[in-house]
């Protein structure tokens, strides 16, 4: 396996509210996660940090993710606990009221590949030189698309396209969507919407197909996003099933 993750503040934002991580254990099980925080007074980066730090703590405290069913329960439990911790923080720090974070997780083992998602950060799989989006964004425009009130083309330019319907710290209780994916993929990509708002699936796919290292691919994705405006923080976490060493 090869892994790499990278985050960038973009061209417009003065600070970075994204947090992300890739972890592995002795059983060859991998956890990838991207959290995109929101809220004033730098509270967004607090919320995303709470999410990622708790994920690290929980992943490192177990020897194995267990069965698929156990891993699904683990994702749901971790998300609920992160949500409670964010609400507790905002109760104790009134200036952070309204903070929250998206969260997208991938758990990859020899026996299963799971994605967990709340908000509008994205999870993709790469197979046979094609990129496929697995997760569904919890946004107002996606809701309008699903009810037939908006077309996908119109959604790209909708003034409220970034309005979230669900996020950790915004709703209680918080329930994540779980996606069960076949393990025979060539790679996994997680990203914040700072990438997907600047580049479409085909443009991201073209970079992933290049004969480059994972670090070079990550840097190129961020560079291209910044070249197209870089209106938000940009984060990418990549796993490639080819043999190799981990990096970050």
Q: What are 52-93's pLDDT values in tens digits? A: 999 999 999 999 999 999 999 999 999 999 999 999 999 999
Contact in structure between 58 and 65 (CB atoms under 8 Å): no
If one counts every other C-beta atom within 10 angstroms of the C-beta of residue 3, the result is 22
- Which pTM value belongs to this model? 0.93
- Phi (first) and psi of residue 14, to 5 degrees: -85, -20
- Name the superfamily (CATH) of residues 2-136+164-240: PPM-type phosphatase domain (3.60.40.10)
State residue 243's pLDDT score: 47
pLDDT digits (tens, 9 = 90+) for 27-54: 999 999 999 999 866 799 999 999 999 9
State residue 138's pLDDT score: 87
* Ranges 51-65, 159-173, 225-239: which has the least confidence: 159-173
State residue 40's pLDDT score: 65
Work out the angle at residue 199's Cα, subtended by the Cα atoms of residues 136 and 162, and round it to the nearest 5 degrees. 50
Nearest alpha carbon to residue 82 among 60, 58, 62, 98: 58
Please provide the average confidence, as pLDDT, over all residues in the chain. 92
Q: In what order do the strands lie in the sheet with 130-133?
A: 2-8, 234-240, 187-191, 122-127, 130-133
How far apart are alpha carbons 72 and 69 in whole angstroms? 5
Largest CA distance in the chain: 49
- Mean pLDDT calculated for residue range 111-116: 98
- Helix ranges, the chain (H): 43-60, 68-92, 140-146, 152-155, 193-196, 201-208, 214-227
Half-sphere exposure for 144 (CA within 13 Å, toward CB): 18
Work out the angle at residue 65's Cα, subtended by the Cα atoms of residues 60 and 67, and round it to the nearest 5 degrees. 170
pLDDT confidence band for 245 (50 / 70 / 90): very low
- Mean pLDDT calculated for residue range 193-219: 97
Say whether pLDDT at 246 is over 50. Answer: no
- Mean pLDDT calculated for residue range 88-100: 92
| Spans of all domains in the chain | 2-136+164-240
Nearest alpha carbon to residue 113 among 22, 209, 15, 188: 188
Give the residue, 51 or 247, on which the prediction is more confident: 51
Work out the angle at residue 239's Cα, subtended by the Cα atoms of residues 234 and 245, and round it to the nearest 5 degrees. 115
Two tokens, residue 7: 């985050």
Say whether pLDDT at 143 is over 90. Answer: no
């Amino acid at each position: 396996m090869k892994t790499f993750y990278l985050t960038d503040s973009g061209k417009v934002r003065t600070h970075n509210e994204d947090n992300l991580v890739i972890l592995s254990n002795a059983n060859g099980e991998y956890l990838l996660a991207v959290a995109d925080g929101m809220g004033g007074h730098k509270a967004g980066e607090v919320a995303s940090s709470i999410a990622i730090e708790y994920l690290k703590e929980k992943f490192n405290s177990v020897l194995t993710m267990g069965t698929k069913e156990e891993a699904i329960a683990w994702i749901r439990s971790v998300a609920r606990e992160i949500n409670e911790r964010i609400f507790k923080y905002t109760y104790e720090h009134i200036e952070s009221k309204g903070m929250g974070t998206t969260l997208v997780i991938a758990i990859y083992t020899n026996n299963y590949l799971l994605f967990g998602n709340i908000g509008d950060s994205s999870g993709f799989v790469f197979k046979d030189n094609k990129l496929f989006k697995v997760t569904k964004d919890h946004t107002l425009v996606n809701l309008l698309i699903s009810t037939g009130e908006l077309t996908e083309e119109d959604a790209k330019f909708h003034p409220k396209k970034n309005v979230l319907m669900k996020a950790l710290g915004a709703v209680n209780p918080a329930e994540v969507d779980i996606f069960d994916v076949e393990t025979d993929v060539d790679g996994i990509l997680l990203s914040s919407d700072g990438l997907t708002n600047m580049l479409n699936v085909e443009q991201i796919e073209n970079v992933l197909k290049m004969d480059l290292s994972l670090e070079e691919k990550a840097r190129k994705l961020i560079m291209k996003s910044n070249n197209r405006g870089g209106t938000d923080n940009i984060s990418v976490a990549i796993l490639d099933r080819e043999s190799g060493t981990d990096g970050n």
